[in-house]
Amino acid sequence: MHATFRQLRLMLALADTGSVSAAARACHVSQPTVSMQLKALAESVGLPLYEQRGRRLHLTAMGEALARRARNMSNEWAAFEQEVAAEKGLTRGRLRLSIASTAKYFVPRMLGTFCARYPDIDIELQVLNRDGVVERLRNHRDDLYIMSMPPVDMALEQRMFLANPLVVVAPLHHGLAGRGSIGLPRLARERFILRERGSGTRLACDAHFAALGFRPTVRLELGSNEAIRHAVAADLGLAVLLMHAIGPAEASARVAVLKVRGFPVQSSWFVIHPKGKRLSPIAAEFSAHLQATAGAG
């Protein structure tokens, strides 16, 4: 069985995009070239690697197995290139990150200081809800992953680098705004606006309410913190949000943090990667940078 590195790169592009034309664009080659190279690869393996379903191509079980190994090889080669660059006194390469959506409020700032120190490093940043980050983690798509609730069914290396408190927010003019300690039973009369199921914020919120024996009345489920903040400001209900999602100026966001007993919920942000994975020099440096930057803040 024979396969070239070029064929494996095209196979990865097909796995990521789901179409030959998109794979061709991603790899800056012609569509006939992709089709010819993938056909040759499948003939070398001796089994189908993908099949057409509707408008998309889907990998077969053997295609998935090949894509996983091709991704591992590509990651190892990228790490080797970085090691060579470091030995030459250069720091260049690519850092691939997947982060939970709420991390977008602080990760770009940390990336900014990192890129100022290493201007020749290219960044690929994916901002997704928790389920999306976990899916990429399972498929080894990136160098590092940032989320607040790492999956418990995977062997992971995880480092906490930043506090991540959850708070209850209300419109500025709400009757509970500005009051002292508020008992959770008082909130039984209120309607809540919560993040969509599958987000890290919703998982943490549901777990905390369940532990306290409280069942909120949910009026809306929304897929972004900005939408929730605006809905709260419009007096559609209360919400549970991460402090990072509120921003530094609560007045400008037209919401107030309530002093509810049992809140804030203390959680943390983690930078993670699969256990046993050898980090590239750039990924290891960025992981250390997160720790140092968060500690300095």
- Rounded to 5 degrees, φ, ψ at 185 are -60, -30
Mark 236-271 as b/e (b = at least 16 C-beta within 10 Å).
bbbbbbbbbbbeeeeeebebbbbbbeebbbebebbb
Of residues 261 and 79, the one with the higher pLDDT is 261
Of the chain, the end-to-end C-alpha distance in Å amounts to 54
Q: Environment class of residue 280 by beta-carbon count within 10 Å: exposed (0-12), middle (13-18) or buried (19+)?
A: buried
Same structural domain for residues 51 and 110?
A: no
Tell me which residue range forms the domain holding 174: 166-266
Same structural domain for residues 159 and 275?
A: yes
Same structural domain for residues 102 and 191?
A: no
pTM above threshold 0.85: no
The answer for residues whose C-beta is within 8 angstroms of residue 65's C-beta and 6 or more apart is none
Q: CA 107 to CA 249: how far, in whole Å?
A: 19
Q: Is residue 49 part of a domain?
A: yes
Residue 295 has pLDDT above 80, yes or no: no
Same structural domain for residues 15 and 149?
A: no
- Strand runs (DSSP E) across 38-92, as ranges? 50-53, 56-59
Same structural domain for residues 123 and 184?
A: no
Same structural domain for residues 240 and 111?
A: no
Q: Which stretch of 51-65, 98-112, 187-201 has the lowest confidence by average pLDDT?
A: 51-65
Mean pLDDT of 60-89: 82
Q: Is residue 72 part of a domain?
A: no
Q: Is residue 150 part of a domain?
A: yes
Same structural domain for residues 49 and 107?
A: no
Q: Is residue 86 part of a domain?
A: no
Q: CA 247 to CA 253: how far, in whole Å?
A: 8
pLDDT of 97: 96
Short-list 199, 76, 75, CA closest to 142: 75
Q: Is residue 77 part of a domain?
A: no
Total domains, the chain: 3
Is residue 246 within 8 Å of 255, Cβ to Cβ?
yes
Q: Which stretch of 168-177, 246-255, 274-283 has the lowest confidence by average pLDDT?
A: 246-255
**Mind listing the pLDDT tens digit for each residue in 103-118?**
988 899 999 999 999 8
Of residues 161 and 247, the one with the higher pLDDT is 161
Q: CA 133 to CA 67: how far, in whole Å?
A: 19
CATH of the domain at 220: 3.40.190.10
Q: Is residue 73 part of a domain?
A: no
Same structural domain for residues 49 and 117?
A: no
Half-sphere exposure of 37 (CA within 13 A, CB side): 22
Q: Which two tokens stand for residue 280?
A: 């590239």
Same structural domain for residues 154 and 273?
A: yes
Q: Is residue 81 part of a domain?
A: no
Same structural domain for residues 153 and 186?
A: no
Tell me the pLDDT band of 137, cut-offs 50, 70 and 90. very high
Q: How far is CA 278 from CA 22, 115, 128, 130, 194, in A?
A: 30, 22, 24, 23, 38
Q: Is residue 151 part of a domain?
A: yes
Q: Which two tokens stand for residue 107?
A: 């990760």
**Mind listing the pLDDT tens digit for each residue in 38-49?**
999 988 889 899
